[in-house]
């Protein structure tokens, strides 16, 4: 999750979502190879396809292993933070989330190396404290990545107790990492276990089933999107922040008129923006205000809702009512549904900012490219294909992976 996520708890390795911490500017040094558009992965590129799981289209998460032999955890792969952490067997007795999730046991790992540095991360939904440790990470087919991670000793929020994930694996830039810890992606590339600092997300927004889509480490899979990809340069390499030119509502309302900053954040469930603009947007589409900047609408009105469009890189990315309306629990056509636009005022100097969370990153596949010395970091966007179009062979491979990592 990101620092800004309010952690809506309704909720290739299955995905989940989390929050960041302190930020210091220290951009990543260039990589060895020139950047080039993502292409279909080949054996030489050694991409890893990580299946994702989901809960109610609001939480996306996947499986990793820590230690030798690997101890399995479910984590949110979060582009809004840069640290990896999981609960510890050494957690405080009164830290309720520890008792509802899997916990890392250093004594059960032959490759564990103590560090002991204290760790504290403040999320929008609560605080996490613990200690840093070092061990081997397994993610997809990538094994033996030496990483420094957090063992959570105290998690303050009920959000973490109710979450369908154990911890968080951050995919933001190094400048976002608390205590200057090397992010897992950088460790994979530095240790030669991942050729390119590129990854992409396909989030399955189909209402039925638990298939949450896929994380691709080392590239992207064109089977997931309709070409071409539109690349937008990252403006501040901490979060995946880019420039948004405008937001238009089908009713004639225009927002972000002079351009604005926007973060693409897999750890945020909804689309958020400054309260004044989000209020105008939700009012234009008939939303009913609720708590914490959220809005509802009668589910039966979904087909007639106006299109909401975001202009990025000179291209309009459109969301229909079916894209931005979320059914909650057993809501039906006569009940109330959650609108995917939430008011959130991010103060200066970081804000004001919009956040494009899973409501946007489901209809549109995002390719996150850290860049090289000659080409800076960028994000590629393209309309997602339906899950049914993924080749049968790939689906079989994903099923085999899931069976091999169950339990």
Catalytic center residues = 78, 265
β pairing state of 71-78 and 59-66 = antiparallel
Phi-psi region of 66 (alpha: psi -120 to 50; beta: other; left: phi over 0): beta
Task: With H, G, I as helix, E, B as strand and everything else as coil, classify residue 240.
Answer: strand
- List Cβ neighbours of 248 (8 Å cut-off, separation of 6 or more): 254, 255, 308, 309, 311, 316
Angstrom distance (rounded) from CA 212 to CA 51: 7
Angstrom distance (rounded) from CA 368 to CA 238: 13
Angstrom distance (rounded) from CA 314 to CA 245: 8
Nearest to 179 by CA among 202, 200, 156, 149: 149
| Peptide bond just before 177 cis, omega within 30 deg | no
Residue that the structure tokens 């396809």 belong to: 49
Angstrom distance (rounded) from CA 133 to CA 87: 12
Nearest to 102 by CA among 142, 140, 152: 152
Nearest to 64 by CA among 202, 220, 169, 188: 169
- The torsion defined by the Cα of 331, 333, 336 and 341, in degrees rounded to 10, comes to 100
Q: How many residues does the chain have?
A: 407
Residue that the structure tokens 């948004």 belong to: 244
Task: With H, G, I as helix, E, B as strand and everything else as coil, classify residue 97.
Answer: helix
Nearest to 316 by CA among 227, 224, 248, 386: 248
């Amino acid at each position: 999750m990101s620092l800004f996520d309010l952690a809506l708890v309704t909720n290739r390795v299955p995905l989940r979502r989390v929050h960041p911490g302190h930020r210091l500017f220290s951009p990543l040094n260039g990589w060895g190879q020139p950047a080039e558009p993502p292409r279909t992965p080949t054996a030489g590129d050694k991409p890893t396809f990580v299946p994702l799981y989901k809960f109610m289209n609001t939480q996306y998460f996947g499986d990793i292993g820590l230690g030798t032999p690997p101890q399995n955890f479910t984590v949110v792969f979060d582009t809004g933070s840069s640290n990896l952490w999981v609960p510890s067997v050494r957690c405080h007795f009164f830290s309720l989330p520890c008792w509802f999730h899997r916990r890392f046991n250093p004594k059960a790992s032959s490759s564990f190396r103590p560090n002991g540095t204290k760790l504290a991360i403040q999320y929008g939904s609560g605080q996490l404290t613990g200690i840093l440790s070092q061990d081997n990470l397994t993610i997809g087919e990538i094994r033996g990545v030496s990483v420094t991670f957090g063992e959570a000793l105290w998690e303050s929020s009920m959000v973490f107790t109710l979450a369908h994930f154990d911890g968080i694996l951050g995919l933001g830039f190094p400048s976002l990492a608390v205590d200057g810890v090397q992010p897992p992606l950088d460790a994979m590339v530095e240790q030669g276990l991942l050729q390119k600092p590129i990854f992409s997300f396909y989030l399955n927004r189909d209402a039925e089933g638990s298939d949450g889509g896929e994380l691709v480490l080392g590239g992207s899979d064109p089977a997931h999107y309709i070409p071409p990809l539109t690349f937008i340069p990252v403006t501040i390499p901490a979060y995946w922040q880019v420039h948004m030119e405008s937001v238009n509502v089908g009713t004639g309302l225009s927002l972000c008129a002079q351009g604005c900053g926007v973060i693409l954040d897999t750890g945020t469930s909804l689309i958020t923006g400054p309260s004044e603009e989000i209020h105008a947007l939700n009012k234009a589409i008939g939303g009913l205000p609720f708590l914490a900047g959220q809005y509802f609408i009668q589910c039966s009105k979904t087909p007639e809702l106006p299109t909401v469009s975001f202009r990025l890189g000179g291209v309009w990315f459109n969301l229909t009512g079916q894209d931005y309306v979320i059914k909650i629990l057993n809501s039906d056509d006569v009940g109330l549904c959650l609108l995917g636009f939430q008011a959130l005022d991010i103060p200066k100097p970081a804000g004001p900012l919009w956040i494009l969370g899973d409501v946007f990153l489901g209809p549109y596949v995002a390719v996150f490219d850290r860049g090289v010395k000659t080409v800076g970091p960028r994000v590629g966007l393209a309309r997602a294909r339906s899950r049914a179009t993924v080749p049968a062979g790939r689906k079989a491979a994903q099923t085999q992976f899931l069976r091999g990592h169950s339990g």
